[in-house]
Structure 1
Amino acid sequence: MMVAACSDEEKYSTTNTDVLTFSVDTLKMDTVFSTIPSSTYSFWVYNRCDASLLINRVALEKGTQGFRVNVDGEYLDGELNGVEVRKGDSLCVFVELTAPKCGQTDVQPIGDCLVFNLSHGKQQKVPLRAHQWDADIHDQWDVNGNVTLDSPCPIIIRKGLHIATGAKLTLRSAQLFFHDGAGIDVEGSLQASECLFRGDRLDAMFDDLPYDRVSGQWKGIVLAPNAKGEWTDCVIRNATDALQLGSNAEATLLRTSVHNSSASGIFSEGAHLALTHCRLTNAGGCCLEAKGGSVTADHCTFAQFYPFSADRGEAFRTIKASVACTHSLMTGYDDLVFSAEGSDLHFSHCMIRSDQPSMGDTFTDIVWEATDDEKGGKSHFRLVDETIQSYDFSLLPTSPAYQLGIGDIREKTTSSEP
C-alpha cells in the first residue's frame, strides 16, 4: 500500500517551475446591478508541462464578495481539493457574481482572486474584477397619484410601470432600466427631464457588441388615448416600439433622442406630437410614423441607418396628418426615407433625401439630397459604424445641413446619447 501511495505522488510534478497556464491574466467582468446575478464568464486552465500537476486547493482569496465558481463541473463550496490536471490537459472555470449592496450611488469596483495551490508548493492567482451598482428595483410599479422622483440611484423595472388616469409621474435626472418585455404604460401624465430610458442588460452579446447597442431590449413607452407625455433632454434607446401614441394623446419632446428601436421609433395614431431639437434615428420600422393627428418638428434629425433589416421603414412617414416641419434633416441609407400624404403639409428650410416631388406650396426652400449616393447620408454625422453598431448623430461642421442650420445641430452632450 505504501509503495502504491508513493507511486501516486511521484506521478505529479515536484518542480516548482512547472505551473498552470491561464487563458486570461485577469477575468474582467462587466458592471452588474447589486443583488442581481451576472451572466456566466469563463476561462481555461492549461497544463503545458511535461508532467501532471495536482492542485491541492482551489479557493477564493476573500470569499465574501458574491463570486460563485465552478471548476470543471464541480462547484466551489468554500474550496476544492485534489484537482488533477494531466499533462497536456485543461480545465474550464466558470464564474458568476451576485454583488451585495455597497451603499453607494456611484458604480464601485468589486473583486477577488481565485487561488490555486499546487502540490509542489507553488501558488498562483487569477484576479476577478467587476463593478457593481446599487439600484432601486421595482417588480411592478403602479403610480396612482402625483409622484416626483429625483434620485441618482438607477431604477430597474422588471415587469412594468403603470401611470393611472389622473396620476402624474415626474422624473428628474433619473436612469430607468427595463427588463425584457417591461415598459411604461401611461394613462395619466409623464414628465421627464434629463432622463435615460433603456434595457437592463449591462453585459455584452459579443466582445465588441454590448447589449446596450442591440435593439428590442424592452417594450417601450405607450401613451394611451388622451394621455400626456413630456421629455426634455432625454434619451430613449434600444426598445421595441420606443414611443406609441394613442388618439388625442399629447407628446412633447425637446432636445431628446429616440434611437435604435426594433420596430417603430415614434408611432402616432391620431395624437398630437411636437418635436424640437430632437434626433429620431435607426428603427426597424419608421423612425417617425404618424397616421392622422398632428406633427410639428423644428431643427430635428430623422436618420434611418438601421442595420438589422433590409425591410426597415422610412426616416419620416406621415399619412393624413397635419404636418409643420421646419429646419429639419431627413436622411438614411435608401432613396425611400421620406413620405408624406395628405393636404395639410408644410415643409420649409429642410434637407430631404428624396427625389423632388411636385406638391405645390407644400415645400418651401428645401434642399433635396441626392438619392444615388449611399455615403452622402452618412457623411453628415460624426460616426456611423454598422460593424459594431456604434453611432454619433451629431452633425459634422462639414455637413451641408450643419452649414445651413438644418437638423439638430447640438454637439453630443453625453456619452450615452446617440
Structure 2
Amino acid sequence: MNARKTLYTLAGLLPLVYVLGALSACGDQRDLFPIPQARDGYSYSLSADTIQMDTLPSLHLSSTYNLRIYNPSKQTIRLKRIALRGGQERGYQMNVDGRAGTSFGNLEIAPRDSVFVFVRALLPEGSSDLPTEVKDSIIIEEQTGRERYIPIIAVRLNVERLQVLHITADTELASPRALLIEDSIVVEPGVRLLIKSPARVLMSSDAYMRINGRLEVKASADQPVRIGSLRWDQFLPRIPYTRVAGQWGGIILGSSATADLEGLHLTNSKWGIYMQERESANDETVLRLDHCRLHNISGVGISANRGLHKIHDSEISNTLASCLSLSGGRYEIERSSIINYYPWPGIRAGAAIVYRNAVDRDRIVKGISGSALYLRHCVVDGSMRLAKKADKSATGGELDISLVAPVKQEQVILRESYLRSIDYSSREGCRVEQIIYTDPKMQPDSLYMSLGVDAQKRRDYFFDFRPRSRAPFVHQSQDNQGYTDLDGRPRSTPMTYGAYEYQPKS
C-alpha cells in the first residue's frame, strides 16, 4: 500500500479506534468523557466557544467542523432555536443532528446527552484579492428568550482556477490572486517560467509541475513563493491539511531542464524535485536552491543526477524517502538543514542524504569523473538510530556515502557540520574536518523548537527546526560573510550550523 493510501486508511480508522477503545473500557463511560458543566447561568454547555476555520479558497467546500451542545443536568432541556445568523448569504452551511438547514426550532436534549451541530463553508468570491475574514455566528436561543452567539470565523482567499498552465513563451507569474492548478503546469523546452513574490500556487490532488525548459523563483524571506496543497482546513481535530504529506505531485525537471530557486517554500507533495536522467557536465549548473524550504513530502525531497547543484541556506526536511538522493553529479551544500523526522505512516527509505558518485545506467555502475559532495556548515539529522558496536564505533545515521571506481582524492569533503552519521574520515576519497557528531543519548526534542508534539505531548505534526540554545551546533563557526538565515535574519558571529541562526528569547 502506498504512503498516501496508508495515510487516508489511517484517517478513516481513527474514529473506529476511538469507539472500540471506549467500548472496551470498564465502568461508566460518562466518567471517561465527563460532560462539562454549564456556566454563566446557561442551561447547557458547549464543546467550544468559537468555530475557527483556516484560510479557505473561494468557491471550494471546506472540511466539516463540529460544535457539541451538552445537557449536564438530570432533566431534559429545550432550546427554542439554533440558527445561522447570516443565513446562506455568507457561505456557511449547517447541519443539526442529521438535518441540513439554516434554522431549527424546539430542540430537546435528554439528560446527560448532547446535540451535534456541523458547520462547513463554501465562501463566495470577495471584492478584495487579499486574505479577508468572513464571519458569521450560530445563535442558540433558550425558551426564556436568552440568546448566545457562537462566532464562526474563516479567511477567504480569492483564487484563479486553471485546468492546465501551459507555458510556450517566456512568462512572468506574479498574480495578486492565488492560482489553483487542477491538472498541471507544463513549461516547454527553451522557455522560461519566472514566479515572483507574492505569488501563491495551490495544487489540487492530481496536479504537478513538469519543467522542460527553465524554472526561476525570485522571492524574499518575508514573502516567499509558496507552492503547496489546495487544502488548508481541518484534516483531523487539531491537525490542518497543511501538515499532511502527499496531497499533490511535485516538480519534475526534464532531461535538459534547469531551475534557479530563491525563496521557494514547497510543501505537502508526493515528491519535491525529481530530475530525469541527464547528460549535463558537472560544471554546468542545473539546480540552485537559495533560502528555500522543501518540507513534509511522502517521497524523495530532491532526486538529482549529473551537473552542478548548489543548495545554500535552505531546509529539506521530513520526507518518506531520502531528503536528498544524489548521484553522479557535483553537489555543494552549505548552511543548510537536512533533517528527517517524517511522522506519517510508512517505512522510511534511506538516510536523509544518500550520495553516490555514479549513475546506474543499463545495470552498469561506473563512477563519473567530476562527481563530488561538498558539505559545510550544515545540520544533517533525523530519526535514524546510531547504534554502538563493541568497539564503540557508531553505525547507521542520516548520511550514506558510497563511492565506486574511479575514486579520486577528496571526492567527498565534510567540514564544520553537525552530523548524525558514522565517521567517514578513514574512507578513501573522503576528507572530514571539524565535525560534531550526534550524541546518541541526546534527546532530539532538546535540540529543536518543535518535533511534532504540542506542550501536552500530543501529536500535532508541527515541526520547527530552529535550534534551541543547548544544541551543540549553535555558535560554532567564525565564518560570517554577511549571510542571512532561512528566516532572513543576519548570521551571528560565531555562526550557527544549519539553515537557522539561533536567536535567544527577548
Q: How far apart, in 1, do the equivalents of 2:79 and 2:50 lie?
A: 19
Contact 1:58 1:80 in 2 (8 A): yes
Q: Residues 50-91 of structure 1, C-alpha deviation per residue, up to 9 Å, x if partnerless?
A: 655554544322221011111222211x53344444555532
Within-5 A mapping of 1:151-230: 151-173=175-197, 174-194=199-219, 195-230=225-260
Alpha-carbon distance change, 120 to 401 in structure 1, aligned in 2, over 3 angstroms: closer
Q: How far apart, in 2, do the equivalents of 1:412 and 1:394 lie?
A: 10
Pairing 1:27–2:51 present: yes
Pairing 1:404–2:499 present: no
**Aligned equivalent of 2:462, options 387, 390, 400:** 390
**Aligned equivalent of 1:246, options 266, 273, 276:** 276
Contact 1:137 1:156 in 2 (8 A): yes
Q: How far apart, in 2, do the equivalents of 1:190 and 1:384 lie?
A: 32
Q: Which AA in structure 2 matches 1:333?
A: S
**Aligned equivalent of 2:401, options 340, 344, 360:** 340
Post-superposition shift, 1:118?
Answer: 4.5
Post-superposition shift, 1:266?
Answer: 0.5
Q: How far apart, in 2, do the equivalents of 1:295 and 1:241 lie?
A: 19
What stretches of structure 2 of length at least 5 have no aligned partner? Answer: 1-40, 220-224, 281-285, 359-370, 385-395, 454-458, 490-498, 501-506
Q: How far apart, in 2, do the equivalents of 1:140 and 1:312 lie?
A: 32
Query: TM-score scaled by structure 2?
Result: 0.70
Alpha-carbon distance change, 368 to 406 in structure 1, aligned in 2, over 3 angstroms: farther
Contact 1:54 1:82 in 2 (8 A): yes
Q: How far apart, in 1, do the equivalents of 2:105 and 2:189 lie?
A: 61
Within-5 A mapping of 1:296-375: 296-308=332-344, 309=346, 311-321=348-358, 322-329=371-378, 330-334=380-384, 335-342=396-403, 343=407, 345-351=411-417, 352-357=419-424, 358-367=426-435, 369-370=437-438, 372-375=440-443
Alpha-carbon distance change, 171 to 100 in structure 1, aligned in 2, over 3 angstroms: same
Post-superposition shift, 1:215?
Answer: 2.0
Alpha-carbon distance change, 348 to 20 in structure 1, aligned in 2, over 3 angstroms: closer
Range that drifts further, 333-342 or 92-101: 333-342
Contact 1:262 1:284 in 2 (8 A): yes
Number of equivalences: 399
Q: How far apart, in 1, do the equivalents of 2:431 and 2:236 lie?
A: 45
Range that drifts further, 24-33 or 239-248: 24-33
Q: Which AA in structure 2 matches 1:338?
A: L
Q: Secondary structure at the match of 2:242?
A: helix
**Aligned equivalent of 1:103, options 100, 110, 127:** 127
* Richer in strand (by share): 1
Contact 1:380 1:401 in 2 (8 A): no
Contact 1:394 1:411 in 2 (8 A): no
Q: Secondary structure at the match of 1:403?
A: coil
Post-superposition shift, 1:20?
Answer: 4.5
Contact 2:196 2:217 in 1 (8 A): yes
Post-superposition shift, 1:341?
Answer: 2.2
Q: Secondary structure at the match of 2:460?
A: coil
Contact 2:183 2:207 in 1 (8 A): yes
Query: TM-score scaled by structure 1?
Result: 0.84
Contact 2:210 2:251 in 1 (8 A): yes
Percent of pairs with identical residues: 21
Post-superposition shift, 1:370?
Answer: 4.4
Alpha-carbon distance change, 292 to 139 in structure 1, aligned in 2, over 3 angstroms: same
Post-superposition shift, 1:403?
Answer: 0.8
Alpha-carbon distance change, 412 to 47 in structure 1, aligned in 2, over 3 angstroms: same
Q: Which AA in structure 2 matches 1:92?
A: F
Alpha-carbon distance change, 319 to 371 in structure 1, aligned in 2, over 3 angstroms: farther
Aligned position for 1:3: none
Alpha-carbon distance change, 62 to 383 in structure 1, aligned in 2, over 3 angstroms: closer
Post-superposition shift, 1:153?
Answer: 2.8
Pair member with larger Rg = 1
Q: How far apart, in 1, do the equivalents of 2:109 and 2:300 lie?
A: 53
Q: Which AA in structure 1 matches 2:53?
A: M
Contact 2:291 2:485 in 1 (8 A): no
What stretches of structure 1 of length at least 5 have no aligned partner? Answer: 1-16
Contact 1:306 1:312 in 2 (8 A): no
User: RMSD value over aligned CA atoms?
Assistant: 3.1
Q: Residues 95-153 of structure 1, C-alpha deviation per residue, up to 9 Å, x if partnerless?
A: 11111112223322212122244455443433322222222222322222211112343
Contact 1:67 1:95 in 2 (8 A): yes
Range that drifts further, 187-196 or 18-27: 18-27
Q: How far apart, in 2, do the equivalents of 1:124 and 1:300 lie?
A: 51
Post-superposition shift, 1:275?
Answer: 1.6
Q: How far apart, in 2, do the equivalents of 1:134 and 1:229 lie?
A: 29
Alpha-carbon distance change, 402 to 305 in structure 1, aligned in 2, over 3 angstroms: farther
Post-superposition shift, 1:245?
Answer: 1.0
Post-superposition shift, 1:170?
Answer: 0.6
Contact 1:179 1:218 in 2 (8 A): yes
Q: Which AA in structure 1 matches 2:85?
A: E
Contact 2:297 2:318 in 1 (8 A): yes
Q: Secondary structure at the match of 1:212?
A: helix
Post-superposition shift, 1:365?
Answer: 2.0
Range that drifts further, 145-154 or 347-356: 347-356
Range that drifts further, 345-354 or 377-386: 377-386
**Aligned equivalent of 1:278, options 314, 320, 324:** 314
Range that drifts further, 35-44 or 329-338: 329-338
Q: How far apart, in 1, do the equivalents of 2:271 and 2:117 lie?
A: 39
